[in-house]
Structure 1
Amino acid sequence: MDMNSFFNDLQGKINQAIESSPAKDIEKNVKSMMTQGFSKLDLVTREEFDIQAQVLAKTRAKLEALEQRVTELEERLVPTKPQV
């Protein structure tokens, strides 16, 4: 679903909710329509995003440590050339 059709559909639903609802139900209906519309976009919550950011940071730190360890091991394996 492209963004224009998504927002057009959402706008139509909001307009319909406003026209057919008493004032006190408008907020409830609009929230419901927005939640329904956003669920189609494959969005993640802020909490899910923060958790994935933490996982990525830990993974990056482990990768950097492993890269350093590999470099150290490679340096040990390279025979030193005798100086003449």
Structure 2
Amino acid sequence: MINQAFLQGLSDQLGQLMSKAPGGNANLQGQIQGVLQGAFSKMDLVNREEFDAQSAVLARTRAKLEALESQLSVLESRIEQADKQ
């Protein structure tokens, strides 16, 4: 679920920042990656493909809903006209 390349890049960047700090630890990068991976795995995240697929489903559902609302409006107007006669 979590993109390992993203985690590695983030870990590298944090490691570079920490190595510039006094007392930088060579093992720190691995620890940072572990902490980040643990934190991200606890989050309820989806990847871009899943998000795009669900967005497409939502768009189709919204279009169907709008069509049904339009049909309902037409039917309601027909009922109103029939009641007036």
The interval holding the TM-score normalised by the smaller chain is 0.5 to 0.7
Tell me which of the two structures has the higher relative contact order, counting C-alpha pairs closer than 8 angstroms and 6 or more residues apart.
2
Alignment of 1:1-84 (within 5 A): 19=25, 21=27, 26=29, 29=30, 30-78=32-80, 79=82, 81=84
Q: TM-score, normalised by structure 2?
A: 0.55
How many equivalent residue pairs? 62
Q: Which runs of 5+ in 2 are unaligned?
A: 1-14, 19-23
- Percent identity over the alignment is 46
SS across alignment from 1:57: helix
Structure 1: runs of 5 or more not aligned? 1-13
